[in-house]
Amino acid sequence: MKCPFCGSQDTSVIDSRPADDNTSIRRRRSCPECGKRFTTYEKVETIPLIVIKKDNNREPYDRTKIEKGVLIACRKRPVSAAQISKVVDEIETEIFSLEEKEIPSTRIGEIVMEHLENVDPVAYVRFASVYREFKDVNTFMDELKRVLDK
């Protein structure tokens, strides 16, 4: 691993342990050239995932789009940053556990809604209203009734 401070190619691992999310390894490293220490994270490389959009265009999977949607849905709600990060990790884990090379964006939206419904009902309805493109108040009310009946 190349030292980010001096560029030396000869760094050594001091300590390794699972990261907080338990899906990666946190390594403390030391550079014998400059004496500085730094942290790296090692994560399993996943197969490239292609998202099939509603208009049949294809684009590479982008985690930040899920994060952005969840953040907007949870805005001004009692959902902590840690909860948001955890739910995005869970969503991503579920998506990649499908072991598909291509996945429709509609399936990703359904997975996001399933997880948001467990986190915060208001955030769920907000996300659903945009994702399902509610056309009128009646559609919105139908979804609210479904949530309240649970």
* pLDDT value at residue 31: 96
pLDDT the model gives residue 35: 95
- pLDDT score of 132: 74
Question: What is the spatial distance between Cα 73 and Cα 109, in angstroms, rounded to a whole number?
Answer: 13
- Give how far Cα 53 sits from Cα of 17, 22, 36, 63, 72, Å: 38, 31, 46, 15, 20
Query: Are the beta carbons of 114 and 90 closer than 8 angstroms?
Result: no
Across 9-119, the runs of DSSP E, i.e. the strands, are 12-18, 24-30, 37-43, 50-52, 58-60, 102-104
Per-residue pLDDT of the chain (150 residues; tens, 9 = 90+): 899 999 999 999 999 998 877 778 999 999 999 999 999 988 776 668 999 999 999 999 999 999 999 999 999 999 999 999 999 999 998 998 888 899 999 999 999 999 999 999 899 888 888 877 777 777 777 777 877 787
Q: What is the DSSP letter of 50?
A: E
In contact, 134 and 142? CB cutoff 8 Å: no
Task: Please give the backbone phi and psi of residue 12, each rounded to the nearest 5 degrees, phi first.
Answer: -125, 150
Residue 45 confidence (pLDDT): 66
Q: Are 143 and 128 in contact (CB under 8 A)?
A: yes
Cα–Cα distance for residue pair 113/126, rounded to 1 Å: 10
The phi and psi torsions of 27 (rounded to 5 degrees) equal -120, 130
Q: On the CB side of 92, how many CA atoms lie within 13 Å of its CA?
A: 19
